[in-house]
Amino acid sequence: MKITYDPKVDAAYFRFLEGSFECTTLRLSDSVAVNIAPGGRVVGMEVLDASENLEILPKSPSIQIENLKVA
């Protein structure tokens, strides 16, 4: 997983799959969109107004992941 943050537009992108995909975008709210590849695989998620919607940005540089098995 790769997380990028653009402070100029206050947007964060969580990329779950590497590579190039023809995606469908599913809007969950005005601030959150999910990119879905054919077959239903989640490619990534964009969060607008990230500093308001994500408590981790830009305040804390650490991210804690729990209960995730490494493949």
CB neighbour list of residue 19: distance below 8 Å, 6 or more residues apart: none
pLDDT in tens, 20-49: 999 999 999 999 999 999 999 999 999 999
Domain for residue 45, yes or no?
yes
Which H or E run includes 51?
helix 50-53
Domain for residue 71, yes or no?
no
User: What residues form DSSP beta bridges with 33?
Assistant: 27, 46
* Global pTM value: 0.75
Which pLDDT belongs to residue 25? 97
Which pLDDT belongs to residue 53? 85
Number of structural domains in the chain? 1
pLDDT band for position 66 (cuts 50, 70, 90): low
Domain for residue 57, yes or no?
no
Q: Which residue has the tokens 């209960």?
A: 67
Which H or E run includes 50?
helix 50-53
Give CA–CA dist 5/47, Å, rounded.
9
Domain for residue 48, yes or no?
yes
Which percentage of the chain shows pLDDT scores above 70? Answer: 77
Domain for residue 67, yes or no?
no
Domain extent for 26: 2-52
